[in-house]
Amino acid sequence: MATGWSSLGLGDKLGLGLGITSTLTGMISARSAANTEKYKLKSQALNLEHQRDMAKLNKRMLESQAQHIARAYNKRLQIQTLRTGQQISKSRASFAARGIQMGVGSTANVFASAELMKEIDRLTLNTNKVRAMNAQRTRAVGIGIQGDMLGVSANNMFSTASSISPFMNMTSTLLTGATNIVGNLPDNFFS
């Protein structure tokens, strides 16, 4: 009785050839699938890096807006202080022109009230300025944290992509295919 290749009939030889071809095709397919997954993960990682960079840019923009808000409120405070000062000066000049004694009685109360209102307005504007600036800065911190998390996710995607090995996928397919081919050979092939 013959053994090896000569012991195989035409159908067995064709089946063996198809099994080898199928294994080789599977190896090529496994390599392509691994490369596709690897490039898909790299693409997602690059997208996450872009989002991280945009978040950093937005964070800087919000800080710039907070500083602009501070300048705008400071200018508003200057204008309001000048306006209040002019009103107090007009009142003094008007009282003096009418011969009213300054700093006594109701005139003292008028000017004290005006100074008190000026100080209250100044404190209110300053409080509003701090609130508006802190709101922008709080948004900036949130966006900064989001950017950091996007960076971590991008690094994880790159790590995952680098761990995908087309060679390992091909080897796995080769071993599975070889096992199937050898398992389907007739018993007298090895005798």
In tens, the pLDDT along 143-178 reads 999 999 999 999 999 999 999 888 888 888 888 888
Mean pLDDT of 84-108: 83
Q: Could you tell me where the beta strands, DSSP code E, fall in the chain?
A: none
| Ranges of each domain in the chain | 34-164
Q: Which of 181, 185, 167 is nearest to 27 (CA)?
A: 167
68-92 pLDDT, tens digit per residue, is 999 999 999 999 999 998 988 898 8
Q: Which of 152, 141, 145 is nearest to 49 (CA)?
A: 152
Asked if residue 1 has pLDDT above 60, the reply is no
Please, are residues 45 and 161 in contact by the beta-carbon 8 Å criterion?
Answer: yes
Query: What's the confidence (pLDDT) of residue 132?
Result: 95
Single pTM value for the model: 0.67
Q: DSSP string of 141-169?
A: HHHHHHHHHHHHHHHHHHHHHHH--HHHH
Query: What's the confidence (pLDDT) of residue 191?
Result: 65
DSSP designation for 2: -
Radius of gyration (C-alpha) of the chain in whole angstroms: 41
Of residues 19 and 79, the one with the higher pLDDT is 79
Q: Please give the C-alpha separations between residue 20 and each of 31, 32, 137, 167, 184, in angstroms, as whole numbers.
A: 17, 18, 65, 18, 12
